Structure 1
C-alpha cells in the first residue's frame, strides 16, 4: 500500500524526553536522565515562584506589616504548605493515581469512565468537574507566562529607576518571541531545560543560605505553632494573606500531569533532592532578610538577596528560568487541548508534529496565538506582577480542589477503599485546598475575576461541544439502518457495483452510516468493496499497534473497521489502513475514495438545549478544522456529503 506518510506523536506536553519509557526495564539506568528532564520540564513553574511569593505577602493593599511575628508566621505557612500540599499530597499520594502511567484531570476522567457511566448523574457531575479543572489549567497557562516573565524583568527596577518604563515592553517582546518560535518545536531549548534549572535552584538556594547564616532566628519558623500564632494575631487579615502564600505551590498540577513522561520515581527524586531544598533555603533566606531589615518589604526581597554586582546576572538567569516555566505551560496547553479533542470536549484543531523522534513535540497554531493574545492582554492590562497574583492564586487553588475531589473518586471506585478511609484522606486534602481557595475568593475583585472569566468561557465551550456532539450522535443513531437489514436489502436489489474501494467514516461502529445511505440514494451504485470505518477514543492514554485496529468481514464486499486511539494520540487514517493491509485486506490508495459527512446545523430543533448554547455549538462546528486534514486523508481522494441537521 502506498501512502503519504504523516508523523505521529503521542501528544505528551513538553519538550524532548529520553525515549526510555518510565515503566520499562531499562528505566533504572535512565533514571538520572529522566530526573534531569523532569527538573527542566516539570519544575519551571513552582521553581520560579520565589520571584513573587514573599513579595506579595508583604506588599500591596493586602500586604502584611513586616513585623518579626508576621515574617516568622508567613515563613512557617510557606514551609508547611510545601511539605503538606506538594511533598505529601501530590508527590506521595496523587502520583499513585495513574492511567497506564499518565496523569492529569482528563486522565482521571478517562480511567473512571468505565466504572461511573452507569450513574448518569454522577458521571455528568464528574465531566463538569473535569472540564472546570481543565479550564482553570488554561487560565494557569495564560497567567504563568505573564506573571513569571514580568516578575523576572521587574528585577531591573532594583538596579535603576530608569528601567521602570521598559519593563512592560521588554516583557511583551520576550513573550512575542517565545510564542513565535513555537512552530519550530522545542527540541533545542528542551536540551537546555535541565542544566539551566540546576543552576537556578543552586543559585537561589545559596543566596538564601547566605541570608539565613546572617539571621538564623528565622529557622524558628520550622515550628508550625508560629503559623497558628500568625492567625491568632491577625484574624481575618491573616486569612487574606493565605491568598499570597499559595503562590509558593504553583505548578503542583505539573507534577501529576507530566507523570507519564518520566514516571513517579524520577519526579520524587528530583523534588526531594533538588527542588525542595532550593526553594526552602530561598524562602527562609528572603524572610531572614526581612527579619534583619523590614524595610526590604518595600522592594522585591528575592532580588535583595543578591549582592549588587550579581543583580544583572540574576535577572538574566531569572528571565531564562521564567521562559522555561512559560514554555512548559504553553506545551502543556497544547497537550491538554489534544486530550480534550480526543475525549470529545473540543472541536478538531490543527495539530502539527514538530519532531519525528521525540514524544510530545506538537504545535497547535490556533491555541498558540489565542494564548499569546490573552497573555499579552494581561501584561498590558495589569502592568505589574503584583496585580496578577490574585488571578494566579485562584487558578491554582481551584485546580487543586478539583484534583482532590477526583482523587476521592479514584480511591472509592477504582481502588475500592472503604468510605471512611477515602473520606478521611479527602478531608485532609480539602482542609488545605479550601483554606487556600477561600482566601483567594476574598481577592476575586482584585484580579481573581480574570481567572473565573477565562475558566467559565472555556468550560462552557467544552460542555456545550460535548452536549452538542451527543445530540448529533443521537440524531444519526435514529437515522442509522441496522447492518443486517441493509445487507439483506442489498442482496435483494443488487445495485450497480463499481471498481475500487470506498471508505465511509462513521461516528458509531454499529449499523450503516447515514453518509453511505445518502450516497446510495443519489448515485444508485456502490464500490465493489466498502469499508465502514469508525475511530474511537480509548480510556487509556495510548493504544498499542496490536490493539489499534479490528477488521470484521460483513459479507457482500463490506468490512467494518474499528480503530482505537488513546486520548494522548492523534488519529491518522493512513496508518489505520496500513494496519488493515497487514491483516490481509489489501487496499490500493489510488483506487480508494473516502466519504465524509459534513453537517450544517440549525438551532430550530426541539433538542433540550438553550438557544444560546445551540448557536455557540453551531459557531464551534463551523470553525472546527476540516476532517480531511485532521485525519491525514489525501484531499484528492475525499468526497464530502452535506447534510442539514436541526438541533
Structure 2
C-alpha cells in the first residue's frame, strides 16, 4: 500500500512539474520570442537589397534559405538553447550574469568596496565549487588577475555588449515603426472603402513597408497590376506617421505592460502558427523541391556562385537571429527548460517552415518585388488578418526590447557603471517590470532621430544586424571564460566552443561592418557613446572611493575625543551615509568640528552592490561596532545584488534598530563564550582597530496583529524587545490629549488615511522587555535602553 502511495505521489509530482513547465513555456513565447518571431518580415528583403538582386533565381534563393536554416540551427538552437542557457547566475541570465560569475570565481573585479565577507554569501559561488587549477589554467588566471589592463578590457567588453542591447532599444522600435502603423492604416482603409474612395489611396498606405527606389515596381499581390504614384502619399508623410506611432509607444511606457502582458503570448503563438501555415501552403503550391535546400551543399554552392556579393548579403541573413539574445537575457523571468521547450517545440519549426515557404515562393517569382516579399507570399484571402497579426507581433517585439533596455540600465547603475536614474516599478506582482522616465525619453528622442534620418528600413536593418552580431560575439567570448573558470571544463573545451561559434559570428559581424556606410555606423556610434559614459562613470566611482579611503578619519583620533566626541550628544539616531565599508569618512570630522551637538547613537551606513543578482534578506546586513561600547557608534553595510530592489527608508530605519539590538545580543553572547574575553576585532590598513562585522540572520517571524509593517521582525528579539502598535482606542482620547482643533484633526486623519506608511511610522514603539528574570547583562540592557530611547527621539 505504501509503495502504491509513493508511486501515486511521484506521478502527481511529475504531472505538476510538467504542467508548470508548459505554462512557463507558454508565457515565454510572449516575453522572449516577440522580436525573433517578426524576423521573417524583413530577412529576405534585406538579403536581396544589394548586389545580390542580379542572382535572384532558384539556385540562389535555395542557397539563402540553406544559410538561414543552418544559422538558426547553429546559433539559437545549438549555442543558446543547449549550451548558454546552462550558464545561469542563480537563475539569472544576460551579459552581466556572465560577468558576475567571472568576477566571483576569479579575481577579475574592478568594483571598489568589496569585502572578504561578501564571499560568505550563500549565492556567491556555484554549489559544489572548489578551485581546481591546472598549471595552464593557473598561469592564465594569474595573468588576468595581475594585469589590470586585462581586467579593464574585460569590463569594457561587457559594457560594450550592454551598450549594444541599449542600441537595440533604439533600433527595434524604429525598425518596427512602419509596421506599427498597419493597425492605424487598416482602420483608415476600411473607412476609405466605405466612402468609395479610389483604390489608389489604399495602395499608397501600404508603401510604408519600405519605399522602393524609383521607378516604383508592382506592389502587393492583392493589387497586382496597379502602380503607386509618388504624389499620393509622400515618404515624408510616411515618416511623420511613423514618428506619431513611436511617440504613442514611448508615451505609454509609464503605464507598464502588466495590464496587457497576458495578451503577448497568444498574439505571438497565433502569429507563429500563422507563419507555419503560410509556409506549408507556399511549399505545397509553389515549389516542394525547396526541401532539398536543407542540405548544406546549397550553402556551399551559394558562396561559390556569388562570391563577395554573397558574403556581404550575410548582413541580411543575420536579421533572422535578431532577438536570440533575449532567450538568455530573460532567463530570470522563466526557467531554462521552459525556454528550451518553447523554442524547440514551437519557435524553431515555425520559423523554418516560414523561411522555407518564402524561398519556395521566391524561386517561382523571379520578378517579385523584394521590398514586399513577405506580404506578396501571403494568400490573398487571409491578407488582412495576417496584416493585423504582423502589427500586433511588431508591437510585442518592440515592447520586449524597450523593457530589456530599462533592465540593462538598472543593472549598470547598480554596479556603478551608469549614472543613477529614477526607476519606477510598474507592477506589484511582477518583479522585473520597471520604467525609467529619463531613459524612456532619451530612447524616444534617439529613435525619432533614427526614423527621420534614415527613412528606410533597409538602412535601419543594416544597423540592427551589426548590433545583434556584436552582442553574440561578446557572449561567446564571455562564455568561453565561464567554461574555464566557473565550470572548470578546461581550456581545450573552451577552445572548441570558440572554434565552433566564433568564426561564424565573426563572419556575420564582418559582413555587417561592410555595411557601415549604409547604416551600420549607427549602432557603432551609439555603442561607443554609451560605453564612454559607462566607463567614465565607473572610473569616477573608483577614483572617488580611492579618495575616501585615503582621507578617512583615523580611529585613534576618534578614540582621543572620548565617548562624548568633544560635543553635546542629544537623543536620537544619526545615520551618516558613506561609500566606505570600513573606516570613518572624512566628512565626520567636519561634523564634529563644526556642529555644536550630535546624536546619541551614530550609525555609519554603507549601501553597496555585490556581484550577485540577489542577496537574501537574512544576509543583507553586516553590523559592526565603531569604537568602544560607550561611544554608541555602529556600522551597517547594506548589500544588494544588481537586480535587487532596495526597501524604502521607513522599512530600513525600523529594521536597522532591530538588527542593531540583535547584534548587541550576539556580541554579548560571544564574549560569554570566550570567558569574558574581548570581542574579535579587525585591523584596518592605518593600524587602527575596528569591531568585527557580523551578519545578523536570525529567522523572521510575524508580529502581533495590528502592526502594519511590511516586513516582520526577528523571533529572537522577543527576549529583548517587544514591538507594539500603539493604536489609539478612539479619536476622543487623542483629541483630549493633543488639544488640536477639529479642522487640524480632520486634516491629520485624512493624511494618515492617504499615507498609511506615515501613520504606521508614528505608531511603532520599541520597549525593553522587563520580564527576563534579571538574566540580561546590565551593560546590554543599558545599551538597548539607549538605542530604544534614541529611536523614539527620532532618526535623522
TM-score band, normalised by shorter chain: 0.7 to 0.9
Identify if the C-alpha distance between structure 1 residues 244 and 501 changes in structure 2 by more than 3 Å, giving closer, same or farther. same
Deviation at 1:153, TM superposition (A): 4.8
Query: 1:567 maps to which residue?
Result: 642
2:327 aligned with 1:277: no
TM-score by length of 1: 0.84
Query: 1:135 maps to which residue?
Result: 163
Q: String of CA shifts for 1:354-377, please: whole Å, max 9, x gaps.
A: 222221121100000111111111
**What is the aligned counterpart of 2:460 among 388, 393, 410?**
388
**What is the aligned counterpart of 1:186 among 249, 257, 273?**
257
Aligned ranges 1:284-295 → 2 under 5 Å: 284-295=356-367
Q: Which has the higher contact order (CA 8 A, sep 6+)?
A: 1
Identify if the C-alpha distance between structure 1 residues 564 and 484 changes in structure 2 by more than 3 Å, giving closer, same or farther. farther
Whole-angstrom distance in 2 between the partners of 1:247 and 1:350:
33
Query: 1:78 maps to which residue?
Result: 68
2:586 aligned with 1:514: yes
Whole-angstrom distance in 2 between the partners of 1:163 and 1:488:
82
Identify if the C-alpha distance between structure 1 residues 584 and 516 changes in structure 2 by more than 3 Å, giving closer, same or farther. closer
Aligned ranges 1:91-130 → 2 under 5 Å: 91-114=81-104, 115-117=106-108, 118-119=145-146, 120-130=148-158
Q: String of CA shifts for 1:382-407, please: whole Å, max 9, x gaps.
A: 11211211101110001110111111
Check the 8 A contact 2:40/2:354 in 1, yes or no. Answer: yes
**What is the aligned counterpart of 1:235 among 281, 304, 307?**
307
> Displaced runs of 4+ in structure 1, greater than 6 A?
none
Whole-angstrom distance in 1 between the partners of 2:322 and 2:447:
17
2:33 aligned with 1:43: yes
Runs of at least 5 residues in structure 1 that lack an aligned partner in the other structure: 1-23, 587-631, 640-647
Whole-angstrom distance in 1 between the partners of 2:564 and 2:167:
59
Identify if the C-alpha distance between structure 1 residues 170 and 254 changes in structure 2 by more than 3 Å, giving closer, same or farther. same
Check the 8 A contact 1:59/1:297 in 2, yes or no. Answer: no
Query: 2:439 maps to which residue?
Result: 367
Check the 8 A contact 1:51/1:151 in 2, yes or no. Answer: no
Query: 2:653 maps to which residue?
Result: 577
Query: 2:275 maps to which residue?
Result: 204
Aligned ranges 1:247-646 → 2 under 5 Å: 247-483=319-555, 485-491=557-563, 494-554=566-626, 555=629, 556-572=631-647, 574=649, 575-583=651-659, 585=661
Check the 8 A contact 1:152/1:315 in 2, yes or no. Answer: no
Check the 8 A contact 1:535/1:564 in 2, yes or no. Answer: yes
Give secondary structure in 1 for the equivalent of 2:606: strand
Whole-angstrom distance in 2 between the partners of 1:55 and 1:387:
12
Identify if the C-alpha distance between structure 1 residues 638 and 138 changes in structure 2 by more than 3 Å, giving closer, same or farther. farther
Whole-angstrom distance in 1 between the partners of 2:624 and 2:23:
44
Whole-angstrom distance in 2 between the partners of 1:578 and 1:521:
30
2:147 aligned with 1:147: no
Aligned positions, number: 570
Check the 8 A contact 2:52/2:310 in 1, yes or no. Answer: no
Whole-angstrom distance in 2 between the partners of 1:498 and 1:405:
57
Check the 8 A contact 1:504/1:531 in 2, yes or no. Answer: yes
Check the 8 A contact 1:552/1:559 in 2, yes or no. Answer: yes
Identify if the C-alpha distance between structure 1 residues 252 and 56 changes in structure 2 by more than 3 Å, giving closer, same or farther. same
Give secondary structure in 1 for the equivalent of 2:55: coil
Deviation at 1:313, TM superposition (A): 2.4
Identify if the C-alpha distance between structure 1 residues 249 and 64 changes in structure 2 by more than 3 Å, giving closer, same or farther. farther
Query: 2:206 maps to which residue?
Result: 156
Give secondary structure in 2 for the equivalent of 1:98: coil
Deviation at 1:517, TM superposition (A): 2.1
Deviation at 1:348, TM superposition (A): 0.8
Whole-angstrom distance in 2 between the partners of 1:164 and 1:78:
34
Root-mean-square deviation (CA), in Å? 2.4
TM-score by length of 2: 0.69
Larger radius of gyration: 2
Whole-angstrom distance in 2 between the partners of 1:512 and 1:27:
52
Q: String of CA shifts for 1:453-492, please: whole Å, max 9, x gaps.
A: 1001000000000001111111111111244542443348
Deviation at 1:37, TM superposition (A): 1.5
Identify if the C-alpha distance between structure 1 residues 638 and 383 changes in structure 2 by more than 3 Å, giving closer, same or farther. farther
Deviation at 1:569, TM superposition (A): 1.7
Check the 8 A contact 1:153/1:171 in 2, yes or no. Answer: yes
Give secondary structure in 1 for the equivalent of 2:367: helix
Identify if the C-alpha distance between structure 1 residues 450 and 63 changes in structure 2 by more than 3 Å, giving closer, same or farther. farther
Check the 8 A contact 2:578/2:606 in 1, yes or no. Answer: yes
Give secondary structure in 2 for the equivalent of 1:498: strand
Check the 8 A contact 2:575/2:795 in 1, yes or no. Answer: no
Whole-angstrom distance in 2 between the partners of 1:489 and 1:257:
53
Give secondary structure in 1 for the equivalent of 2:313: helix
Give secondary structure in 2 for the equivalent of 1:447: helix
Check the 8 A contact 1:149/1:319 in 2, yes or no. Answer: no
